[in-house]
Structure 1
Amino acid sequence: MFPVVTILSLNLFAPLFSAGITTLVSAFFFAAVLTYKRRWHEVMYRPAWKDIIFATVYIGIIFYGLMFIGLRSTNAGNAAIIGLMETFFAWFLLGHVLRHERVSPVQLFGGILMIIGAASILAPKASGWHIGDLVILTATAFAPLGNRHAQFARKLVSSETIMFWRSVIGGAFLLLIAFVFEPVPVLAEINKSAFVIVFNGFLLLGLSKILWIEGISRITITEATAWNSITPLFTMIFAYFLLQEKITWLQIAGFVPIAIGVLFLTKSKTSSTV
């Protein structure tokens, strides 16, 4: 759903402005949750700041910045399928490079299948791939790193505190970059996208992120991203009805090995070493 809604907002103004404004809108959602739960005191809890800042840089700035840029030059279906590679990067970076989560040979096979699936999406055949696909693939490599720090921070403060800081810092930074490199949107353009921006900010970058952080605080990041693999199906359905994007055989071919790889990655239960 995120790629579909984002593309709708990108039809009116530049990607970094869209990312920055949407992220700042989500900050109002988290501020409301903090107020309702009376947890504003957590915002100034300094021991959690380090991990919150790292999570913000990796996800709030780099990941979402690249995602919005990539979606400018690809379609929602491709973005959804390539986004599945986040499971592979979580397995590789957290399991092998950082030794944050244990992995197995069965999961290795699953990772290889996912590479094959992504390669079928990125292969330069006819018009089946876009430069935006490479940008989105790069973005997915940073998400597990940010989620790792979000896990650490969640042990100290609530999910809404983490996301409030991430939204304020990340949104402000993205807007700063946008003012330097992109044309400033006029108020009329923002007004036309107001509903999409609020929907994206409150639900997709708001409520869903609280549920996500609560999830990765209970299971491993690799498992969580693998379970998230069902989203491309819904994304392609929404893209078909809302954006009139055709579901191509290339997308279907890429989805199959990636989906099978996800099953192998979760077949042997991972366990965190934290």
Structure 2
Amino acid sequence: MSAHRRAAVVALTALAPVSWGTTYVVTTELLPPERPLFTALVRALPAGLLLLVFDRVLPRGAWWWKAGVLGALNIGAFFPLLFLAAYRLPGGLAAVVGSVGPLLVLGLSALLLGRRPALRDVLAGTVAALGVSMVVLRAAGALDALGVAAAFASTASMAAGTVLTQKWGRPEGVGPLALTGWQLTAGGLLIAPLAFLVEGAPPALDAGAAGGYAYLVLVNTALAYVLWFRGIGRLTATQATLLGPLSPLTAAVLGWALLDESLTALQLAGMTLAFGATVAGQLRAPSADPTRPQLTPDNLAPVALPGQRLPAPHVGTGPHQRQSPSVRT
């Protein structure tokens, strides 16, 4: 992939965590309070069904269970655990626990993809987590063990889903719309019984809530996850996850711009660190395109001089030896 194309892929993928960073403002300002599971259900299931209707491609063979596993990790488990953590922990602490996602992805990539973590990626992930901590962490009392466990589990679930998404790729002829639709639908179906069991019937919605849910379904979930899973297919899992700090940074900026929240010098320094680590995580040394044929001694043909006829090359049995026509001039 060329540098310009890689930059375009990174920019489009980055729109996903930026969009997710708007969730806090939309939730607090427009949506009914105390309904996290209903909100998770509305985000996932309608968006998934919409993408399925639009693309009209269903899984085949092993992709039925693969889509179920990815949907459970990326959506079905991630959303409820994330909301449980948000309700039991200060928002800043939940974001700090979530910021270790890139480091978890590095470990899982080594385990499942056989990729040895690069020191640069480890440093970028560590600095990003430090920067997010400086932006969002506030003084708090005693920690809630269940909340911390839920925050870590949600981060680990998303990290595992990200690595498996790259490991399995997509079926031949299937685009990111279908893959995203499968996962959102599977995750939404897992959340549905939990939401109705815990929270009961859906709440009454006013115009503001209806608009907020429409935004979450169409932009914050359907479009954002299509861009995210498309990016995972073109970037490394570590590169994609190192874009994650853009989410709490976006939330902090929107809180300052729209909710009159203040930004201290320490927070601004943390933003600089986190953003710099995010950019550093996208820098890669140029490498050869694996789809481009490489010139080796086995595929270099001799050049005929004027009036010369070259004999057909010897036919061997090696994997790179094959019959070629004679060259005439």
TM-score by length of 2: 0.66
Residue 200 of structure 1 aligns with which residue? 216
Please list every run of 5 or more consecutive structure 1 residues that lacks an aligned counterpart in the other structure: 35-39
Residue 246 of structure 2 aligns with which residue? 230
Deviation string for 1:134-173 (max 9, x for gaps)? 6434312211211233331424432122222222221122
Deviation string for 1:95-152 (max 9, x for gaps)? x3334433222333334445555666797x6349975676434312211211233331
1:244–1:149 distance in 2 versus 1, CA, 3 Å: same
- Checking the alignment, whether the CA contact within 8 Å between 1:91 and 1:222 is kept in structure 2 is yes
Deviation at 1:28, TM superposition (A): 3.9
Alignment of 1:183-194 (within 5 A): 183-186=200-203, 188-189=204-205, 193-194=209-210
Alignment of 1:155-170 (within 5 A): 155-156=171-172, 157-170=174-187
Residue 37 of structure 1 aligns with which residue? none
Please say which structure displays the higher CA radius of gyration. 2
Residue 63 of structure 1 aligns with which residue? 78
Please list every run of 5 or more consecutive structure 2 residues that lacks an aligned counterpart in the other structure: 1-21, 288-329
Deviation at 1:217, TM superposition (A): 0.7
Deviation at 1:241, TM superposition (A): 3.6
1:270–1:146 distance in 2 versus 1, CA, 3 Å: farther
Alignment match of 2:139 (pick from 105, 113, 126): 126
**What's the % identity of the aligned pairs?**
23
- Checking the alignment, whether the CA contact within 8 Å between 1:21 and 1:175 is kept in structure 2 is no
Alpha-carbon distance in 2 for matches of 1:82, 1:270: 33
Q: Which amino acid aligns with 2:139?
A: A
Structure holding more helix per residue: 1
Alpha-carbon distance in 2 for matches of 1:117, 1:54: 32
RMSD across aligned positions (CA)? 3.5
Deviation at 1:223, TM superposition (A): 0.5
Alignment match of 1:91 (pick from 102, 106, 109): 106
- Checking the alignment, whether the CA contact within 8 Å between 2:31 and 2:212 is kept in structure 1 is no
TM-score by length of 1: 0.77
